[in-house]
Chain A
Amino acid sequence: MTEGIFNIDMKITLAHGSGGKYTSDLINSVFESSYGNDVLAKMEDSAVVDGYKKIAVTTDSFVVNPLFFKGGNIGRLSVCGTVNDLLMRGAVPKYITSAFIIEEGADSEDLKKIAQSMAETAKEAGVIIVAGDTKVIEGCGGVYINTAGVGFVENDNICSSNCRAGDKIILSGNLGDHHAVILSSRMNIDNSIESDNAPLTDMVSKLLDNNIDVHAMRDVTRGGLGTVLNELAEASEVKMNIFENDIPVDSQVKAFADFLGLEIMHMGNEGKMIAVVSADDAEKALDLIKGSAYGENAQIIGEVKEGSGVVLNTSLGGQRIISVLRGEGLPRIC
């Protein structure tokens, strides 16, 4: 840090977005020092990196409130979201970029924590942060992050339209944790639920390295399992037949959802995925996922059938159609 213009106790002001000395101090103190790698250290206008015959590209923006929540923060989330999107196409995530839009009044120490968390998560996920940008706007302390990512693709057959009748549907873990954490925080409800935000690199690479016949993968984020399965069913022109008794949900999250009238099938997650695999490989795939990071509660929750839509076989023995999430998932009132 030079000449003490920036210190970690200060609030961000519009001057930090001016492009001058304040900006470079902010970048050096918060981002470069956290992300630190050879590509970024060159501070060129664009990063030049090694390529591959086919690449996957994605981008995602993160506007979560609060910035810090049990089990994670907006920084970790912003890396996981983009990395997981790359993984779902069978890509090996390699590089990500990080663009911050910061409202004046944001806390420098918070920014530092967010950047360090991004660096740690990137390391865990096997990616490097190769480029970045920072803008400061008027406001009251908010922080928004966009990340873009590039992954190397060996086999691009893994896609939403590739589910086939007879395939098994594997869910990598408990539903609803992240959604419940964010709502609990906003409502000042005290519980021990933690966000599931996590990069799924380990479980996906285990599936690919072991040549599992994976037909489709999707991370179960906003809109929840119900929405994701409907999208897969539509893209592949098949029916998803799932069983309520096999869907893993933490008892505290279940109670929270019941209390607020939230539908588990539509609650958001940030570290869960669906893998649709051929029936022959299903048990092996399940074992691999269960043996990898964040996969210990994985279950086979159903199978792909001919037809359309998503059918849930309830624990009572009834059946109901699961639709996509509509509206904003507002809680019921009584």
Chain B
Amino acid sequence: MPELSKIISELKNYNGAPLTFMEVCGTHTASISENGIPSILSDKIRLVSGPGCPVCVTVAEYIDVLIDYSKKENTVVVSFGDMLRVPGSKGSLKDAMASGGNVKMVYSPLELLDMAEKERNITFIFAAVGFETTAPVYAVLIEEAIKRGITNIKLLTALKTMPKAIEFLCESDSDIDGFLAPGHVAVITGIADFKTLAEKYNLPFVVSGFEGKELIASIYALTKLVKQGTVKNLYKRAVNNNGNETARSSVNKYFEPCDAVWRGIGLLKGSGMALKAEYSAFDAGSREIVNDSKINPVCCCSDVIIGKKSPLKCPLFGRVCTPENPQGACMVSTEGSCYSYYINDRRDF
């Protein structure tokens, strides 16, 4: 690959057929904005953000269930920080906290173990969202809980897997010419799933790291691979082509594939993971959440999430829908497309 300055100049001066690439991972979205990458690319190269932010694809009904739990006696809802502001149909977990709901924020699900051990009379419900990357931590949590005889932890899972969502995008009428494949997911899954998709839909996938120069190199690689059904791994320092077998078998011990509902997409068969029947004592009713409903009927998150619409084309963007008053999940998480566009005053080039 040529040196960085040459790549940047070539991407800036690209004058071929218009190209649209999708980054599927929310951390990629954030890094692209933070590094000012859209301002470096030619007008003919468009980046769109896919459904790779776990917070953004979480449905309103899921938040509603958590809020109900937070108001129950002897029950505490525990969550990552990003989830607190996601709007459900009756407000967010932050709102629930302000009106007396029991909600705690943690940085790692494993913090739950000590909490639960200390207060045995309290049931701790963890908002277990995430993709293939986060699932292994939940497997460790269950394993440790069993080992330590802790029974007052339950997961409300909304675990998603990437391949089915990408397949949905490939089947839809969006004009994507290639994917920046999610680096963190690939660390666990390896590249086999992406290879299958690449070959089936004749589209290039480049597994990318998260630093600005890595993303630039990956975008450059995509421009050279257009219309080729191939996978290129440019994140070799972290991604082994076979993924992490140990993490996968740990996940497979406790979880099994299930249908999952995605905000903005709806129900996708086999696109999620849920606890196996023998571990149902640790489940807080996750499989009952099957509906996707909008908070604001005008909200375009569903089109934004699949890369069909730029956040800037949503009539609510920046007017009614802001980080202070998000109408859809894409404006909530720092990894959401709308949030990222708003905060960085990102324009479509």
Q: Which residues of A contact B (CB under 8 A)?
A: 187, 260-261, 263, 309, 312-321, 323, 326-328, 330-334
- Annotate B236-260 by CB proximity to A: 1 below 8 A, 0 otherwise: 0000000000000000000000000
Which one of B84, B131, B344 has the highest number of Cβ atoms from chain A below 10 Å of its Cβ?
B344
Which A residues touch B34, using CB under 8 A? 263, 314, 320
Q: Given A327-B85, A333-B130, A334-B27 in contact, is the A321-B213 Cβ separation under 8 Å?
A: no
| CB pair B40 A332 closer than 8 Å | no
What distance in Å separates the Cβ of B37 from its nearest Cβ neighbour in chain A? Answer: 6
Looking at the assembled complex, report how far the CB atom of B35 sits from the nearest CB atom of chain A, in whole angstroms: 5
Cβ-defined contact, B80 with A333, below 8 A: yes
Complex contact B212–A187 (CB within 8 A):
no
Complex Cα gap A260–B184 (Å)? 15
Q: Are B216 and A261 in contact (CB under 8 A)?
A: no
A-chain residues with CB within 8 Å of residue B85 when the two chains form the complex: 327
In the complex the two chains form, is B82's CB within 8 Å of A333's CB?
Answer: yes
Task: Give 29 pairs: A residue, B residue, CB < 8 Å, sorted on A.
Answer: A261-B334, A263-B34, A309-B345, A313-B36, A316-B37, A316-B213, A316-B216, A317-B36, A317-B40, A318-B35, A318-B36, A320-B33, A320-B344, A323-B343, A326-B324, A327-B324, A330-B82, A330-B84, A330-B334, A331-B82, A332-B27, A332-B30, A332-B82, A332-B333, A332-B335, A333-B129, A334-B27, A334-B131, A334-B184
CB distance from A82 to the nearest CB of B (A): 30
Contact digits for B81-102, partner A, Cβ 8 Å, 1 yes 0 no: 1111100000000000000000
Say yes or no: is B204 at the interface (Cβ < 8 Å to chain A): no
Interface core residue of A260, A314, A320, A326 (most chain B CB under 10 Å): A320
**A contact patch SS:** loop
Chain A residue numbers with a CB within 8 Å of B191 are none
State whether A326 touches B184 (Cβ < 8 A): no
B-side contacts of A263, CB under 8 Å: 34
B105 in contact with A330 (CB, 8 Å): yes
Q: Which residues of B contact A334 (CB under 8 A)?
A: 26-27, 54, 130-131, 133-134, 184, 335
Given contacts A320-B39, A333-B81, A333-B130, contact A260 B33 (CB under 8 A): no
Contact A318 B40 (CB under 8 A): yes
For B323, the chain A residues whose CB sits under 8 A away are: 326-327
Q: Which residue of A lies closest to B342 (CB)?
A: A323
Q: Mark B63-84, 1 if CB is under 8 A from A, else 0.
A: 0000000000000000011111
Q: What's the Cα separation between A332 and B29 when bound, in Å?
A: 12
Q: What residues of B have a CB within 8 angstroms of the CB of A309 in the complex? A: 345
Q: Which 4 A-B pairs have the closest CB atoms?
A: A318-B36, A330-B81, A321-B345, A333-B80
Give Cα distance in the complex from A331 to B30, angstroms: 13
- How many A-B residue contacts, CB cutoff 8 Å? 89
**Given B107, B212, B213, B345, which contacts A323 in the complex, CB threshold below 8 Å?**
B345
Known: A330-B82, A332-B82, A332-B333. A314 touches B27 (CB 8 A): no
Known contacts A320-B36, A330-B84; decide if A260 and B345 are in contact (CB<8 Å). no
CB distance from A334 to the nearest CB of B (A): 6
Q: Considering the complex, which residues of chain B in the window 90-148 have a beta carbon less than 8 Å from any beta carbon of chain A?
A: 105, 107, 129-131, 133-134
Interface on B for A, CB 8 Å cutoff? 8, 26-27, 30, 33-40, 54-55, 80-85, 105, 107, 129-131, 133-134, 184, 212-213, 216, 323-324, 333-335, 343-346
B131: A residues at CB distance < 8 A: 334
For A313, A326, A330, the residue with the greatest tally of chain B CB atoms inside 10 Å of its CB is: A330
Residue of A nearest to B53 (CB): A334
Task: Write out the residue numbers on chain A whose beta carbons fall within 8 Å of the beta carbon of B54.
Answer: 333-334
Q: What is the bound-complex CA distance between A260 and B107, given in angstroms?
A: 9
Assess the B334–A316 pair: CB atoms within 8 A. no
**Residues A318 and B27 in contact in the complex (CB < 8 Å), given A330-B81, A333-B134:** no
Partner of B212, one of A313, A316, A330: A316
Min CB distance A189 to B, Å, is 9
Q: How far is the CA of A321 from the CA of B30 in the complex (A)?
A: 13
Instruction: Say yes or no: A333-B212 contact (C-beta < 8 A), given A318-B36, A326-B323.
Output: no
When distances are taken between beta carbons in the complex, the residues of chain A under 8 Å from B345 are 309, 320-321, 323
Note all chain B residues with C-beta closer than 8 A to A333.
54-55, 80-83, 129-130, 134
Asked if A331 and B107 make an inter-chain contact with CB atoms under 8 angstroms apart, the answer reads yes
Q: Which residues of A contact B333 (CB under 8 A)?
A: 332
Contact: A318 with B37, CB < 8 Å?
A: yes
Residues of B within 8 A of A326 (CB): 323-324, 343
In Å, the complex CA distance between A208 and B342 comes to 40
In the complex, A331 Cα to B333 Cα: how many Å?
10
Residue of A nearest to B108 (CB): A187
CA–CA, A323 to B34, complex, Å? 12
CB A221 to nearest CB in B, in angstroms, measures: 21
How far apart sit A332 and B35, CA to CA, in the bound complex (Å)?
Answer: 17
Residues of A within 8 A of B8 (CB): 316-317
Q: Given the complex, which residues of B lie within 8 Å of A187, measured CB to CB? A: 107
Chain A residues within 8 Å of B335, by CB: 332, 334
Q: Is the CB of B36 within 8 A of A314?
A: yes
Name the residue on B nearest A186 (C-beta).
B107
The residue on A at minimum CB distance from B322 is A326
The residues of A that contact B81 with a CB separation of less than 8 Å are: 328, 330-331, 333
Q: Which residues of A contact B82 (CB under 8 A)?
A: 330-333
Contacts of B334 in A (CB 8 A): 261, 330, 332
Check if B39 sits within 8 Å of A319, measured CB to CB. Answer: yes
Instruction: Give Cα A333 to B344, complex, Å.
Output: 20
**Sample of 9 more A-B contacts, CB < 8 Å, known A316-B213, A320-B35, A330-B334:** A261-B334, A263-B34, A314-B212, A316-B8, A318-B36, A318-B37, A318-B212, A330-B105, A333-B54
Task: Please measure, in the bound complex, the distance between the C-alpha atom of A326 and the C-alpha atom of B331, giving whole angstroms.
Answer: 12
Which residues of A are found within 8 Å of B38, using beta-carbon distances?
318
**With A333-B130, A334-B54 given, is the CB distance from A312 to B84 under 8 Å?**
no
Q: Across the interface, do B80 and A319 meet the contact criterion of CB distance under 8 Å? A: no
Closest chain A residue to B332, Cβ basis:
A327
| Bound-state Cα–Cα, A159 to B233, Å | 52
A261–B80 Cα gap in the complex (Å)? Answer: 13
Q: List chain B residues, Cβ under 8 A from A321.
A: 344-345
B214 to chain A, nearest CB (A): 11
